[in-house]
Structure 1
Amino acid sequence: MSLFKNKLIIALPLIVLAIVFVFSLTAIPIISPTAKNLPVAIVNEDAGSSSGENMGNVIANNIKSATAAISEQPPIKWIEVGSEEEAKTGLHHQEYYAALVIPKDFSTNQASLASPNPVSPEIRIYVNQGMNVTAANMAQQILTQMVSGLNEKMRAQLIAAFDQKGGTVTTKQAAAWASPIVSKVSPVNAIGTNSANGNAPVTLFQPLWMGSLIAGAIFLLAKNKTIFANRKEKLQANGVQVIWGALLALVAGFGFTWFVERWGMSIPDFMDIALFLSIAYFAFFLMISAVFSWIGFGGMAIFVLFLFFGAPLLSFAPELLSPFYRDWVMSWLPMRFLVDGLRELFYFGEGLKLNHPTNVLMWIGIGSILVLLASALKPSGKTNEELIRSSP
């Protein structure tokens, strides 16, 4: 068949295999995410018992030692914090995925377990769901397992002590010894309902990115079909593209927010979310347009790779990624600032303000405008005037 005389047809199996291989790399960071050095606050407010014993110090030291012994890169990185309120502030500022608090009456209650009126000591665990629900759940699981281990150890010590004395265990003591330490788990910055299980910021990224990519491609097609008389006309066309991009950003930001709210997503503040999405769309549109203006449709490959390699990473905390993906892929993704900004708006009660994600997106937009306008100075094919002069 003549069809098989075409070299591309013959090479198609290898081409397909190469494409499949490249895009299979996107699955590597999400196949088996492992927690490494998740920052978790630990607060020991234990005032000690009347005998001077401070079980809070013992518990805190045992927990930190047990974590450090797991591996060279333990799943938890403990950060000592002075008070429960200070830990809550850090959780709100996205400094910790969780916090473990040993209250001031821990030793007193622990000593009462051997008395006729036992009171189980309590450990409070705060889980920062909004920071990253996957990492926060991992931290919660590790902390609850640690408390379970402490429970078993304390239960064995209590039973051994009573065996030596030959005493009789009361029903109250038996009930308290079933769980000598009570762990109270409280979510903070909760993800709530109808938020894609805490992944609403990541869910909103892809449509916005595709919208800006397609709009940039359409502008490039239109400009490629236009013959500009001189560089001034090219500069004017680029200026029109910037102005039109601002209008598109408002349409995309407000329209998209309205759509997802109609589909059932919980939108904490319509105006703030819509304006932030508009800022993000404008920054992405300008960045894509700036790259297209210099290298043409070759830039499409860059932004498609951003999409396919970036989307799987955005839902994971940096501590769950390998150093390569964390430092050389994640850190270079412009869309992560969209996700970070939306996370603050959705789960941390932060209104729209000039925070780090918003500032970065604005600087991306400003830099892209300068690059886009400068492309008017780029040498191009013959202008309309040159075509007229060269005609017979």
Structure 2
Amino acid sequence: MQAKEKKLVLLAPVIALLIVFVFSLTLFPSVQVKPRQLPIAVVNEDQGVEISGQPKLNMGETIVETIRQAPTAPGEEPAVEWVVVKDEDAARQGLNDKDYYAALVIPQDFSAKQASLRTPSPSSPELRIYLNQGLNAAAATAAGQVLNGVVDTLSEKIRAQVLDAFQAQGATLSPDQAAALAVPIAKKVTNVNEIGTKSANGNAPISLFQPLWMASMACSAVLFLAFGKSAASDRKRSLATKLVHIGAGAVVALLVGFGFAWIAEAMIGLAIPQFVDTALFLALAFFSFFLLITAVVSWLGLKGIAVFALMLFFGAPLLALAPEMMSPFYRDWIHPWLPMRFMVDGLRELFFFGKGLSWNHAVAALTWIGAGGAAVTLASALKSGAAEKRRRQDSAFR
């Protein structure tokens, strides 16, 4: 075995371990996921109750104060950010505006019904819980677990208080009172902006991202090869070639947008509530990604594709997570810079929030990304023109 071959043999495990290490980094965002400052709305509509010989009782206010002052471990962010909202309608609007992952509503008669648990005609108070599935199914589930824990803890406290009061009075429970104390607080859970049954458990927007991103990389590479040689001419011809290059990408984007929407609905079986709007949005996302990738490739060559391949591997795991469930590093330094998150956000609105294609945050962001990519791509014509000018000068000199 020659020296060169021996070096390659020794280098093989080093390369293999390096690749394993690099791609293991993609697993970090999904390990030990836990909520941090998950926004949950809380509404207190409780009107309180007057009890003879005692100050007015308003259990709703007590509940709000208790949950907002819940202790957290030193040095850790609280799991929940409780946002007090004036009424149930405002909370529902906040859920539709993607401000909250869940909402807890304390109704007007909560205190009155709790007080009735000590009377011969008891009636269990009820808390209403809303889970915003469409915003992020995993985060909504985590919020639901937090709220269920709050209700269960309150139920235990109320049960203990009522039983202590009966014991102090030497009274016995009637069948109705015993039944009411079995569930001291009833809870009504409602899913809003539901993900439905044909949405890959709410992950349809993330599922559609990867094929579209890979297709945009492939299209950028193919069209770069197709137009690359003709672009290396004088400045005017190079600029015209770049415009044709971009126009070809726009045509492909429309074909991919409608074709991919049809495949997702007819072959994969995803529910596409607004087919044309979804197809146009997919076309916009593809064209935006195509222009972004083409801009880099125009200056760096095909090796620039590697940047977007790495972005795919390292960015994809983050797209399924709510920002509030990421570590601070990924939440503050990685997630905000991922262009594909705007595609996922836009598809969530189309799939789960019943909103059509409009000039929203996702559409605006993708448009500006595409516009920036187009500008940088056209600017590369200046590079081509300058290179051609130098080549001619060198030829004339020789």
The superposition leaves residues 195-254 of structure 1 with CA deviations (integer Å, 9 ceiling, x where unpaired) of 010011101100000010001011222234447442222211111111111101101100
Q: Note if 1:57 corresponds to 2:56.
A: no
- Give the CA deviation at 1:334: 0.2
Offset at 1:295?
0.8
Q: Which residue of 1 aligns with 2:379?
A: 374
Structure-2 residue corresponding to 1:362: 367
Equivalent residue letter for 1:21: F
2:113 pairs with 106, 109, 116, which one? 109
**Residue deviations 1:242-293 (CA, integer Å, cap 9, x gap):** 1111101101100000001012100110011000000000000011001100
Which residue number corresponds to residue 191 of structure 1? 195
* Helix, strand or coil at the partner of 2:272: coil
Query: Residue 26 of structure 1 contacts residue 309 of structure 1 at CA under 8 Å; is this kept in 2?
Result: yes
Structure 2: which amino acid aligns with 1:14?
A: V
Residue of structure 2 equivalent to 1:290: 295
Give the 3-state SS of the residue equivalent to 1:378 in structure 2: helix
Aligned-partner residue type, residue 282 of structure 1: F
> SS at the partner of 1:168?
coil
- Alignment size in residue pairs: 391
Identity %: 51
Residue from 147, 158, 175 that aligns with 2:179: 175
Matched, 1:266 2:258: no
Deviation at residue 320 of structure 1 after TM alignment: 0.6
List aligned pairs for 1:18-29, cutoff 5 A: 18-29=18-29
- Closer/same/farther in 2, CA of residues 292 and 323 from structure 1, 3 Å limit: same
Q: Structure 1 residues 13, 140: closer, same or farther in 2, change over 3 A? A: same
Instruction: Specify the alignment match of 2:353 in structure 1.
Output: 348
Please say if residues 97 and 132 of structure 1, whose CA atoms lie closer than 8 Å, have aligned partners that are also in contact. yes
Aligned match for 2:312, one of 307, 315, 325:
307
What TM-score comes out, normalization by structure 1 length?
Answer: 0.95
Q: Segments of 4+ in structure 1 off by > 3 A?
A: 1-4, 6-10, 68-72, 223-229, 379-392
SS in 2 for 1:285: helix
Answer whether contact 1:276 1:352 (CA < 8 A) is retained.
yes
Q: In structure 1, what is the Cα distance between the partners aligned to 2:128 and 2:196? A: 21
Give secondary structure in 1 for the equivalent of 2:190.
Answer: strand
Question: Does residue 93 of structure 1 match 2:97?
Answer: yes
1:390, CA displacement in angstroms? Answer: 6.5
Shift of 1:388: 11
User: Quick one: structure 1 residues 217 and 391, their matched pair in 2 at CA, closer, same or farther if it must change by over 3 Å?
Assistant: farther
Q: Distance in 2 between matches of 1:278 and 1:174?
A: 61
- Whether contact under 8 Å (1:227, 1:383) holds in the other structure is no
CA offset digits 1:303-329 (Å, max 9, x no partner): 011100110000000011111111111
Structure 2 counterpart of 1:30, one-letter code: S
* 1:70 positional shift: 5.0
Report the Cα offset of residue 2 of structure 1: 4.8
Equivalent residue letter for 1:354: W
Q: Is residue 160 of structure 1 aligned with residue 185 of structure 2? A: no
Within the alignment, does 1:204 sit opposite 2:191 as a pair?
A: no
TM-score with structure 2 setting the length: 0.94
Mark the runs of 5 or more structure 1 residues left unpaired by the alignment: none
Q: Which residue of 2 is the match for residue 317 of structure 1?
A: 322
- Tell me, which stretches of 5 or more residues in structure 2 are unaligned? none
- After TM superposition, give the deviation of residue 65 of structure 1 in Å: 2.1
**What is the CA-CA distance between 1:367 and the residue it aligns to?**
1.1
